[in-house]
A and B are shown apart, each in its own frame.
Chain A
């Protein structure tokens, strides 16, 4: 039973991350392998404020983390709006590797490679969240709100504007719209989602380490969107739930634990290739 709760909570956290990645990769159409870095920054910030000598409670910590991640994601994305798409690949890889270097080596702030244990459980306005059922409620609420926001955006003029930008930026500018502002808004929103997911993740597991937020984690996020499908709410939900079930399926197959991680990443890679070749719209999305 505990296992099922854990699966649901993690999947819901990854739904928020899926929405975040989908906004950037699917909707704005930029290649990003640094969303896990933003996710990690959110997690470390929430952990930091909740474990400070004079601790903040969960909601304010989460708000600070979300604000920082909005700013960070805008900074991370801005180069893509100025330099050509290919140069942004370098930026994106660079930011992910740099973030991992900070998470591992800035021992004072992050606990280094050993990670940061003992993160207190969250509370909602004084009401502590301790049992698994409460966590499921909290994360369900958060992911439903995230999905609702995504859905509202996609049916509003903002969603139409983003779709149009992905097709032809020049034509959007010629129609009198500010392309840069729209892209920055999408990036900001993606940052808010990733930061919130980070806060939920840190408090749920009560332990974080750099390896949850490395390049492989970013590749996992990308795989979720590719498998689920770009630009749709359904795609952002299907991807995380399917891919997080994969490690459990792998335990049924008799794979030595030493290569389990590699086998998992190997499958993500194969999924990326196969979907790009045969089904670029994913299971429930639109063509990338």
Chain B
């Protein structure tokens, strides 16, 4: 049996810092996998490698039996993996709808020749795409903020919008970098409900998360990363209940 996504033997150094050491794991389709570990364990580095923003010194990533090594970030999105960023990286001067529409693949008029010489076709195609994007916004609960500029949205709304943007790409595997951090209790519940809903719709999720309560509630599998190496893998109960890992986690965080 081949895995949905397989990460094998990743190794990477930033100058003197050994960020990833022979890191391997697999992700299974339709599940929510949480990636946990103390700060500096290499969680975001793994995201960067999988999504093509960082070429590792060694190791490879395969998705649906296809090697992703050497692909540019945009090609990896087309292959079906999309990510969010810890610091959101939304387009602050564009409105929510436009932020989502940037994610939609294969739009007519996305290069100058089509835009100039077939303007009517472009705007017809845009109207359809706009409906799609509105539906996506509605899905994450932001339908009423579609025409608001991002900088006027609350932090919680911005986090939801980053999820809407990756959804718009149509990717099957979503890599979410701390989707729940810094949220109020209400917003937290909304995000967790959204992640569950995405799972029920067939998406596969790999989530970096610090909050153990969130991990316990949403994760099917937990990957515990320490000093760039996969230290343990298992159900949330097993990983969070392990006193040795808790020692590393809280000791390392201090």
Measured CB to CB, the residues of A under 8 A from B are 149, 152-153, 155-161, 163-164, 167-168, 170-179, 181-182, 185-186, 188-189, 286
Instruction: Say yes or no: A158 contacts B92, CB within 8 Å.
Output: no
**Residue B53 lies at the interface, judged by CB distance under 8 Å to chain A:** yes
Q: In the complex where A160-B94, A160-B98 touch, is A171 in contact with B89 (Cβ < 8 A)? A: yes
**In the complex, which residues of chain A have a beta carbon less than 8 angstroms from the beta carbon of B122?**
152, 156-157
Instruction: Say yes or no: A171 contacts B91, CB within 8 Å.
Output: yes
- Kindly identify which residue among A149, A164, A177 contacts B94, using a CB–CB cutoff of 8 Å: A164
Q: Most A CB atoms within 10 A — which of B82, B119, B168?
A: B119
**Residue B70 lies at the interface, judged by CB distance under 8 Å to chain A:** no
Q: Complex formed: what's the CA distance from A170 to B165 in Å? A: 14
- Which one of B61-69, B103-111, B206-214, B221-229 is at the A interface? B103-111
Instruction: Say yes or no: B112 contacts A173, CB within 8 Å.
Output: no
Q: In the complex where A156-B122, A163-B93 touch, is A172 in contact with B102 (Cβ < 8 A)? A: yes
Instruction: Say yes or no: B105 contacts A156, CB within 8 Å.
Output: no
Instruction: Say yes or no: A176 contacts B78, CB within 8 Å.
Output: yes
Q: In the complex where A153-B112, A156-B119, A156-B122 touch, is A175 in contact with B94 (Cβ < 8 A)? A: no
The chain B residue sitting closest to A177, CB to CB, is: B74
Q: Chain B, interface size: which category?
A: 35 or more
Q: Complex formed: what's the CA distance from A251 to B123 in Å? A: 48
Instruction: Say yes or no: B119 contacts A175, CB within 8 Å.
Output: no
**In the complex, which residues of chain A have a beta carbon less than 8 angstroms from the beta carbon of B137?**
none
Q: Complex formed: what's the CA distance from A231 to B75 in Å? A: 29
**Residue B33 lies at the interface, judged by CB distance under 8 Å to chain A:** no
The chain B residue sitting closest to A145, CB to CB, is: B116
Instruction: Say yes or no: A153 contacts B101, CB within 8 Å.
Output: no
Contact with A along B45-77 (1 / 0, CB 8 A): 000000101000000000000000000111001
Instruction: Say yes or no: B98 contacts A175, CB within 8 Å.
Output: no
Q: In the complex where A164-B91, A168-B91, A177-B102 touch, is A152 in contact with B119 (Cβ < 8 A)? A: yes
**In the complex, which residues of chain A have a beta carbon less than 8 angstroms from the beta carbon of B82?**
174-176
**Residue B126 lies at the interface, judged by CB distance under 8 Å to chain A:** yes
- Kindly identify which residue among A167, A170, A175, A186 contacts B77, using a CB–CB cutoff of 8 Å: A175
User: Shortest distance in angstroms between A175's beta carbon and chain B's nearest beta carbon?
Assistant: 5
Q: Complex formed: what's the CA distance from A152 to B126 in Å? A: 13
- Kindly identify which residue among B53, B73, B74, B101 contacts A157, using a CB–CB cutoff of 8 Å: B101
**In the complex, which residues of chain B have a beta carbon less than 8 angstroms from the beta carbon of A286?**
93
Q: Complex formed: what's the CA distance from A174 to B115 in Å? A: 23
**Residue B90 lies at the interface, judged by CB distance under 8 Å to chain A:** yes
Give me 8 A-to-B residue pairs in the complex whose CB atoms sit less than 8 angstroms apart, sorted by A's number: A157-B110, A158-B109, A158-B112, A160-B94, A171-B89, A174-B51, A174-B73, A175-B82
Instruction: Say yes or no: A156 contacts B51, CB within 8 Å.
Output: no
Q: In the complex where A157-B110, A160-B94 touch, is A171 in contact with B115 (Cβ < 8 A)? A: no
**Residue B169 lies at the interface, judged by CB distance under 8 Å to chain A:** yes
